[in-house]
């Protein structure tokens, strides 16, 4: 999910230094609203996450769900203690432990993770529990380990600050996509289909955001025209890309961030072909209208839900979002849970 600023263009919102913090943790921030009610969903299954954490220096341990502010827990960080959290879910969820370690859980899973810290960094992860839950998280962890091995930064602005060349970033992104596909293929038959979609969508989101956003960002920050960056034809970088529409992929913040940028990239490309310039919307109302016209079905639901919840989280001029919420719920909401979460966080 992309943090939306009504004072500037979506480009500025993407390039500020909170970009990937917001994409990874926006729902965690919503959790701080201290919502006490629990939304019930059809076909919920009892799901259990437990963790043993060694070398951790802070007082509290936090479990936060990326997809829902209703699924969260905190514990006192007693050395050697196992922290156990049971909750109900009807779909895949990504749980973040202490804001740093992400694990994936399918309905009915029972997963235990041993986390070893060295200083502030996680040094080692070990999974145990139900067989598929372990396989799911070993795949997710393997992709994350590969990103670290190639020093793949999660914040594009950080790339610009240390002068990562656009051609290098794009090549690394292609490597990430290839390695993710290989790891997925190796885990075939062992990993849940939704987990495959989520893991693939996350890598695609990171890579495709780099394709469409880093060259113009580098041009703006480093004053080097895209034509001189060695990335080839910028307008062909996304050729052959197929959009995802499954629920698991659309619940991935990085992929949803890409979908927001994809509209601007596509419209910019169409304008470029006509010798014109596309002006990205700088008001929430205009962004909502353009996204609603550009996408349909579940994709439209996901991106509109994203900008609505991000705007609410911003906490300013909330009355402006109310007509858009009404329109979203009446015309565009496919996933009933989105409407229920919006209602709760507006209370």
Q: What is the mean pLDDT of residues 6-12?
A: 36
Q: Which residues pair with 75 in a beta bridge?
A: 61
Q: What percent of the chain has pLDDT over 90?
A: 84
pLDDT category, 21, cuts 50, 70, 90?
very low
Contact between residue 305 and residue 321 where contact means Cβ atoms under 8 Å apart: no
Q: Which residues pair with 113 in a beta bridge?
A: 51, 127
110-120: per-residue pLDDT in tens? 999 999 999 88
- Distances in Å between the alpha carbon of 260 and those of 101, 109, 244, 337, 344? 26, 32, 13, 21, 24
Query: Do residues 208 and 262 make contact, with C-beta atoms less than 8 angstroms apart?
Result: yes
What gap in Å lies between CA 112 and CA 107, rounded to an integer? Answer: 15
Task: Report pLDDT digits (tens) over 254-297.
Answer: 999 999 999 999 999 999 999 999 999 999 999 999 999 999 99
20 compared with 321, residue with greater pLDDT? 321
Written as one string, the DSSP assignment of 282-334 is -SHHHHHHHHHHH--HHHHHHHHHHHHHHHHHHTSSGGGTHHHHHHIIIII--
Q: Are strands 101-105 and 45-54 parallel, antiparallel or unpaired?
A: unpaired
- The model's pTM: 0.88
Rounded to an integer, what distance in angstroms lies between the CA atom of residue 239 and that of residue 331?
A: 31
């Amino acid at each position: 999910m992309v943090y939306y600023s009504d004072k500037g263009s979506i480009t500025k919102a993407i390039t500020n230094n909170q970009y990937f913090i917001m994409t990874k943790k926006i729902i965690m921030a919503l959790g701080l609203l201290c919502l006490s009610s629990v939304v019930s969903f059809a076909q919920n299954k009892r799901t259990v996450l437990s963790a043993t954490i060694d070398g951790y220096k802070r007082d509290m341990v936090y479990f936060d769900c990326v997809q829902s502010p209703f699924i969260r827990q905190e514990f006192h960080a007693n050395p050697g203690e196992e922290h156990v959290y049971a909750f109900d879910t009807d779909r895949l969820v990504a749980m973040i432990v202490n804001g740093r370690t992400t694990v994936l859980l399918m309905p009915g899973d029972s997963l235990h993770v041993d986390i070893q810290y060295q200083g502030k960094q996680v040094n080692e992860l070990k999974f145990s529990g139900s067989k598929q839950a372990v396989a799911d998280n070993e795949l997710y962890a393997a992709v994350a380990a590969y990103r670290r091995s190639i020093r793949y930064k999660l914040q594009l602005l950080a790339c610009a600050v240390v002068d990562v060349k656009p051609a290098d970033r794009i090549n690394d992104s292609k490597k990430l996509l290839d390695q993710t596909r290989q790891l997925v293929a190796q885990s075939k038959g062992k990993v849940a289909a939704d987990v495959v979609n989520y893991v693939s969508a996350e890598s695609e989101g990171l890579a495709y955001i780099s394709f469409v956003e880093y060259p113009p960002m580098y041009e703006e920050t480093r004053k080097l025209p895209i034509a001189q960056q060695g990335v080839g034809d910028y307008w062909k970088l996304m050729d052959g890309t197929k959009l995802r529409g499954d629920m698991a992929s659309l619940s991935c913040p990085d992929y949803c961030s890409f979908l927001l940028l994809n509209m601007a990239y596509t419209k910019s490309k169409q304008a470029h072909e006509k010798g014109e310039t596309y002006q990205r919307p700088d008001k929430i109302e205009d962004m909502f209208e353009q996204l609603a016209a550009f996408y349909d079905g579940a994709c439209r639901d996901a991106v509109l839900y994203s900008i609505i919840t991000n705007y609410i989280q911003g906490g300013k001029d909330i009355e402006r979002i109310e007509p858009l919420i009404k329109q979203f719920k009446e015309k565009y909401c496919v996933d009933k849970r989105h409407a229920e979460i919006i209602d709760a966080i507006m209370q």
